[in-house]
């Protein structure tokens, strides 16, 4: 039955990061070696980089969910059977439920992955995540598609433009004070207000759970700044009326100029996120234009390369440890043991860079398993 529908099934345990696949997974997913993707991190390396983060957020989007709940999710993304360095790609639709424990923490996901029909892929290449914007605002996939068109020159005469990333300020405070339903309502209201302020030739889309992206065509730096100010003003001009009452809303805007600040979609998104982070901590203007300083860009590339190396080392089981005894100064009797961890790669600040990508837990688990075999 699953074979006829070009569909496979899986169960993903979050604690161990193990994925158990249905027997037909290899055939459905383009002939991939299933043994190479029995871990969630390894599977993520076969997803288009533009979609990988959004897919992870959608599947595990229930950081504060009801206890013992089954939260549905549905999304669409580009899968790469040969990995990110290969050329083969297929569009897939993934649907399932994220299951929480007695504390409301996500513990596992159970779902199906289906190969998307070619006609549908071409006409609607978008995420269909549960809880997606009901007002018709384009998805992240459609937004990045418009961004790619602008960068490739397929958007017509307007080869120059800008990309804006608009985030909702103080969303954590709103969620804690009013509840997550009201937080979602505020995000939707922000999207509706932004939609009324964009120009007809520009594209507004949902970028992530609390951010919207705007692709601007045919504008320079001054015009991009003017649009950013207008977006802030249109969102904040009125109090947001929610089911729990009136809520004050504020936003921050990160701006990059195209193609001056980026020549690829991936770089454009990464640099827009950097600009948005700077705008978030800028209390006066609450918008920031990306500054292409070479030290920051070099540091970003080194960090990404280190993160990829750590993931490959974990998958290849190349993580090695050394035990260093700590002795007393008098008798030299061992008091404790320090565990040194590494992956054999030549890089500085290995542990700091791994921590910045939240990989310390995986390294701790791998080190513990090695020590357990020695014991």
Q: What spatial distance separates the first Cα and last Cα of the chain, rounded to whole Å?
A: 47
Do 360 and 308 fall within a single domain?
yes
Spell out the residues 6+ positions from residue 27 whose beta carbon is closer than 8 angstroms to its own: 3
pLDDT given at position 362: 63
Confidence of residue 296 (pLDDT cuts 50, 70, 90): low
Condensed to tens digits (0 to 9), the pLDDT of residues 151-174 reads 887 655 557 899 999 999 988 889
For residue 300, pLDDT over 90 is answered with: no
Do 56 and 120 fall within a single domain?
yes
Identify the domain boundary among 110, 132, 154: 132
DSSP 117: P
User: What is the mean predicted confidence (pLDDT) over 53-73?
Assistant: 72
Whole-number average pLDDT of the chain: 80
Do 274 and 303 fall within a single domain?
no
Tokens 């050394």 label which residue? 322
pLDDT given at position 235: 92
Condensed to tens digits (0 to 9), the pLDDT of residues 87-127 reads 888 989 898 888 988 888 889 999 999 987 543 444 333 43
**Is it true that the peptide bond before 259 is cis, omega within 30 degrees of 0?**
yes
Neighbour-count burial of 14, counting CB atoms closer than 10 A to its CB (0-12 exposed, 13-18 middle, 19+ buried)? middle
List residues bridging with 336 in a β-sheet: 326
Condensed to tens digits (0 to 9), the pLDDT of residues 215-259 reads 998 888 999 999 999 999 999 988 888 888 888 999 999 999 998
pLDDT given at position 256: 95
pLDDT given at position 366: 60
Do 39 and 112 fall within a single domain?
yes
Do 251 and 330 fall within a single domain?
no
pLDDT given at position 285: 79
Do 244 and 166 fall within a single domain?
yes
Condensed to tens digits (0 to 9), the pLDDT of residues 314-369 reads 677 777 777 788 888 888 888 887 777 666 655 555 555 555 555 556 666 666 66
Measured CA distances, 223 to 202, 203, 218, 302, 371 (Å): 13, 16, 9, 33, 59
Do 60 and 93 fall within a single domain?
yes
Do 203 and 302 fall within a single domain?
no
Q: How many domains does the chain have?
A: 3
Tally Cβ neighbours within 10 Å of residue 107: 15
Identify the domain boundary among 237, 268, 292: 292
Q: 3-state class of 313 per DSSP?
A: helix
Q: Quick check: 196 and 234 in contact, CB under 8 A? A: yes
Do 284 and 147 fall within a single domain?
yes
- Could you give the CA distance from residue 334 to residue 324 in angstroms, rounded to a whole number? 10
Q: Which of 335, 336, 341 is nearest to 365 (CA)?
A: 341
For residue 65, pLDDT over 70 is answered with: no
Domain residues for 360? 296-374
Share of the chain above pLDDT 70, in %: 79
């Amino acid at each position: 039955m699953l074979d006829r529908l070009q569909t496979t099934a899986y169960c993903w345990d979050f604690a161990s990061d193990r994925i158990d696949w249905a027997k037909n997974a290899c055939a459905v997913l383009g002939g991939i070696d299933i043994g190479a993707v029995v871990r969630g991190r390894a599977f993520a390396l076969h997803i288009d980089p533009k979609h990988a983060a959004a897919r992870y957020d959608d599947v595990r989007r229930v950081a504060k969910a009801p206890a013992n709940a089954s939260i549905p999710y549905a999304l669409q993304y580009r899968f790469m059977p040969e990995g990110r360095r290969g050329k083969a790609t297929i569009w897939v639709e993934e649907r399932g439920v994220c299951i929480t424990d007695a504390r409301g923490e996500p513990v596992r996901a159970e779902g199906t992955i289906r190969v998307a029909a070619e006609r549908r892929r071409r006409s609607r290449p978008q995420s269909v995540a549960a809880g997606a914007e009901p007002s018709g605002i384009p998805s992240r996939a459609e937004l990045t598609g418009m961004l790619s068109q602008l960068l490739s020159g397929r958007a017509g005469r307007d080869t120059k433009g800008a990309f804006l990333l608009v985030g909702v300020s103080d969303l954590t405070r709103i969620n804690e004070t009013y509840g997550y339903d009201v937080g979602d309502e505020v995000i939707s209201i922000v999207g509706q207000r932004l939609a009324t302020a964009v120009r007809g030739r520009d594209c507004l889309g949902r970028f992530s759970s609390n951010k919207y992206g705007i692709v601007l065509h045919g504008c320079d730096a001054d015009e991009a700044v003017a649009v950013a100010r207008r977006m802030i003003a249109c969102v904040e001009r009125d109090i947001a009326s929610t089911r729990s009452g009136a809520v004050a809303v504020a936003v921050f805007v990160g701006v990059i100029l195209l193609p001056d600040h980026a020549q690829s979609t991936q770089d454009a998104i990464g640099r827009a996120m950097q600009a948005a982070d700077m705008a978030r901590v800028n209390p006066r203007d609450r918008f920031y234009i990306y500054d292409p300083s070479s030290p920051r860009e070099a540091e970003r590339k080194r960090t990404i390369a280190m993160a990829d190396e750590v993931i490959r080392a974990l998958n290849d089981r190349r993580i090695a440890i050394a035990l260093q005894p700590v002795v007393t100064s008098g008798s030299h009797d061992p008091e404790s043991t320090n565990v040194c961890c590494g992956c054999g790669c030549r890089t500085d600040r290995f542990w700091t860079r791994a921590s910045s990508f939240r990989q310390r837990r995986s390294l701790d688990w791998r080190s513990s398993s090695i020590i357990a075999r020695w014991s």
